[in-house]
Amino acid sequence: MKDQVFRYKKSKNIFGIVMIWLWMVLIALELIFIKNKDWGNYSVMAAGLLFILMYGFGLIFQYAKIKNGVLTIYADFIPKHIPLNSGTEIRKSVGDYIVKTQTKSVQINPQSLNEDSKKRLREIFKIKD
């Protein structure tokens, strides 16, 4: 099986870029104009930096990938690996795709994927909508 990368929707990426700019402006304004900084100011800056790191993680790793017959989901920050072999069950439930082996189970939210990635996912998993 050829390596596949399943990408996020473009609207999610655009939203992330807008939010990064807003956080950067907020952090810059706090650094420039607030003289007496307390823990609240630093927590806002930390939240902004955390959002920027989360966006970067999603941009680098995308939603999921299949490499060497192993499906890896990066939607949560702890990657979930599930082997796609003959014992793998794939089904659709309430809009999500559930990939299940005897020991592990992961859900794939197709609403987070762009159209090309959704199409390739359906072809690979042989799912009919």
Task: Identify whether the C-beta of residue 91 lies closer than 8 Å to the C-beta of residue 97.
Answer: yes
Residue 86 banded pLDDT, cuts 50, 70, 90? low
**Residue 65 in 3-state DSSP?**
strand
Task: Identify whether the C-beta of residue 30 lies closer than 8 Å to the C-beta of residue 43.
Answer: no
Q: Which of 57, 97, 56 minimizes the C-alpha distance to 78?
A: 57
Single-letter amino acid code for the residue at 98? I
pLDDT score at 116: 93
Q: How far apart are CA 60 and CA 89, in angstroms?
A: 28
69: left (phi over 0), alpha (psi -120 to 50) or beta: left
**Residue 35 in 3-state DSSP?**
coil
Over the stretch 103-123, which tens digit does the pLDDT of each residue have? Answer: 888 888 888 899 999 999 888
Mean pLDDT over 20-35 rounds to 89
